[in-house]
Amino acid sequence: MAAWGERLAGVRGVLLDITGVLYDGGEGGGAPIAGSVEALARLKRSQLKVRFCTNESQKSRGDLVGMLRRLGFDISEGEVTAPAPATCLILKERGLRPHLLIHDGVRSEFDQIDTSNPNCVVIADAGEGFSYQNMNKAFQVLMELENPVLFSLGKGIHSFFFVARTLRRYYKETSGLMLDVGPYTKALEYACGIEAEVVGKPSPEFFKSALREMGVEAHQAIMIGDDIVGDVSGAQQCGMRALQVRTGKFRSSNEGFLGFRGSLRPKGVRETPLETSSAFSPGGQSGNPRSPAPASPEAAEPWDLARFG
Amino acid sequence: MAAWGERLAGVRGVLLDITGVLYDGGEGGGAPIAGSVEALARLKRSQLKVRFCTNESQKSRGDLVGMLRRLGFDISEGEVTAPAPATCLILKERGLRPHLLIHDGVRSEFDQIDTSNPNCVVIADAGEGFSYQNMNKAFQVLMELENPVLFSLGKGIHSFFFVARTLRRYYKETSGLMLDVGPYTKALEYACGIEAEVVGKPSPEFFKSALREMGVEAHQAIMIGDDIVGDVSGAQQCGMRALQVRTGKFRSSNEGFLGFRGSLRPKGVRETPLETSSAFSPGGQSGNPRSPAPASPEAAEPWDLARFG
């Protein structure tokens, strides 16, 4: 697999999705995906620039980073590109006062934003907050506006929900796909005859802001995520290379996914970012962090990047 | 306005929407729209065939007709074309077992339907039943199916909600637009990458079943409703004539409504079906029910059917 080195030629920066790549969420805070703490540590010891590009919109950046650090990840708040702070910048620039249909966990990001007499709506992954009453309120606010403006923090279709609970010494596992912000955004778009402005992946503007903050051009960067649309297709359309991991919301049916018009063959991708970073820096903990070597045949073998954009 | 008679030439049947045309809903059962009880009585005394074509899917036909009869309307269950019974016929024909995301008030319509081990989803205007939990359950059922089938009972965008409550001798009025089944259908369509089969207006199949049951051809029928998309545009696309009343969910902004590509000028339409039926039978209560006379100039004046399809 000599081609492996060529495929990563010129890569100077790595954008990492968080949920489903570094850790799996769930009640009680979630757990690291096996190998990902070490993978990130190795990536950070390489010469590659690393930045985190997430659509997380149920938690503030502070809470997210605090949780990840407790799980052992080497991450700081300034390294994270996230929809809520990006939206606050836009609201301030345009003098907009939002009605917020968001999760309480992310509300603190909007502390400095005037929400009186709203002239736009911000919708994020509100989870249980997507009640009929709350959706109706957002709908009514939009319908009262002469020029309704709707911001959607990402346009995710679903998230993968996993809970392991100890109950009388038994583990009860509840797992399944859960509706994300995208379908609810579609509902309001249809109800009001408008189109939302998406702040988050797969919006090109969002990827570009992450690249700017990392100081790397699109053709020099690779995005690693679990979402075939939000991460892989979105990054490719932005001129970046992209990898899908087999963890998180990855499903084998992604290969025939309706919404994806890409040329990726997900069957070839790796299961954890651990292997990802070993491809960049095969020496692992004993490798020379200053000279990222070409990938070893062993590391490259399971990948199938032949059709990556 | 001699053209009035020409415009209604050959009309043999009238399809009437119910909510927003005959009565306005709300807590406590709703109230007749002024003049509509008499208008319906007059229509029924004419030679015209009359049928009711509703997207009501929060109530069973029995409950709906019972309520309307108590309000004074001359209506029987057999005269009503409604989405829930139409859906039951389709489910039986195709051997489908639905997961029901519907309002409790309409659940009795599905009493004879097998809902075990569901292989499709039926979504209707569930009101408060559109919780995050219920939407998620429907989403998960669809995602488990190899060939997901979703039936939507109508595709309404919003309903007009009006409540008048007596409270310490004061009337408290709560009114506003409320999300209907359409946006929630869109949400599931987007989440699952599928397209729903709509049972109800504006589906041509639904209008055709109402015409069949009335025994009248499309070009011989006129639809009277308050919804510019579901009633007016839908009926026109089916080859019928159509009128929009100014009651119910009518809004003056309908004239520029995004979803409507018709040629109607709503500003010219009448406020209640009272005038509608007087156009067909100007003699009113003293007229000859066996010979519908051409419309009088007085009755025709406020109409503007110049651009009706």
In a domain, residue B71? The reply is yes
A87 with A232, same domain? Answer: no
Least confident of B119-123, B244-248, B262-266, B274-278: B262-266
Do B99 and B77 lie in a common domain? no
Backbone angles phi, psi at B93, to 5 degrees: -55, -40
Cβ-Cβ contacts under 8 Å, A129 against chain B: 132
Contacts of A140 in chain B (CB under 8 A): 176-177
Q: Give a yes or no: residue A212 inside a domain.
A: no
Q: Are residues A191 and A173 in the same domain?
A: yes
A176 pLDDT higher than 80? no
- At CB < 8 Å, which residues of chain B contact A? 126-133, 135-136, 139-140, 143, 157-158, 176-179, 182-184, 186-191, 193, 257-259
Average predicted confidence (pLDDT) for chain A: 79
Asked whether residue B125 falls in the same domain as residue B68, the answer is no
Q: Which of B127, B193, B259 sits opposite A258 (nearest CB)?
A: B193
In terms of domains, do A64 and A93 share one? no
Contact B136 A179 (CB under 8 A): yes
Q: Which amino acid is at A228?
A: I
Residue among A130, A186, A190 minimizing CB distance to B157? A190
Residues B6-58: pLDDT tens digits?
Answer: 777 899 999 999 998 999 876 666 889 999 999 999 999 999 999 999 999 99
Give the one of A132, A139, A183 whose C-beta lies nearest to B191's C-beta.
Answer: A183
DSSP A155: -
Residue A77 shares a structural domain with residue A19: yes
B130–A135 CB contact, under 8 Å: yes
Which of A126, A131, A186 shows the shortest C-beta gap to B187? A186
- Residue B239, domain CATH: 3.40.50.1000
Of B135, B152, B255, which to mutate for an interface test with A (greatest number of A Cβ within 10 Å)?
Answer: B135
Tokens found for residue B198: 């709509």
Type of residue numbered A79: E
The dihedral over CA atoms of A252, A255, A258, A259, expressed in degrees to the nearest 10, equals: 100
Write out pLDDT tens, residues A269-286: 443 443 444 444 433 333
Cis peptide before B292 (omega within 30 of 0): no
pTM, two decimals, is 0.76
A113 is a domain residue: yes
In a shared domain, residues B224 and B77: yes
Structure tokens at B75: 């209506």
Q: Let me know if residue B229 belongs to a domain.
A: yes
DSSP-derived 3-state class of residue A260: coil
**Does any domain span residue A206?**
no
Angstrom distances, CA of residue B47 to CA of A55, B41, B287: 63, 12, 12
Looking at the structure, tell me whether residues B188 and B271 fall in a common domain: no
The pLDDT score that the predictor gives to residue B229 is 85
Domain that holds residue A175: 83-198
Same domain, yes or no: A72 and A92: no
Please give the tally of structural domains in chain B. 2
Residue B67, in any domain of the structure: yes
Q: Which of B104, B132, B135 to mutate to test the interface with A (most CBs of A within 10 A)?
A: B132
Is B132 in contact with A131 (Cβ distance < 8 A)? yes
Class of residue A244 by CB neighbours under 10 A (exposed 0-12, middle 13-18, buried 19+): buried
Q: How does DSSP classify residue A154? A: -
Identify the residue among A137, A180, A190 best suited for mutation to test binding to B, counting B beta carbons within 10 A and taking the highest: A190
Residues whose CB is less than 8 angstroms from the CB of residue A33 and which lie 6 or more positions away in sequence, other chains included? A20, A21, A22, A23, A24, A247, A248, A272, A273
Lowest-confidence range among A141-155, B124-138, B226-240, B251-265? B251-265
Together in a domain, A100 and A24: no
Question: What's the ipTM?
Answer: 0.75
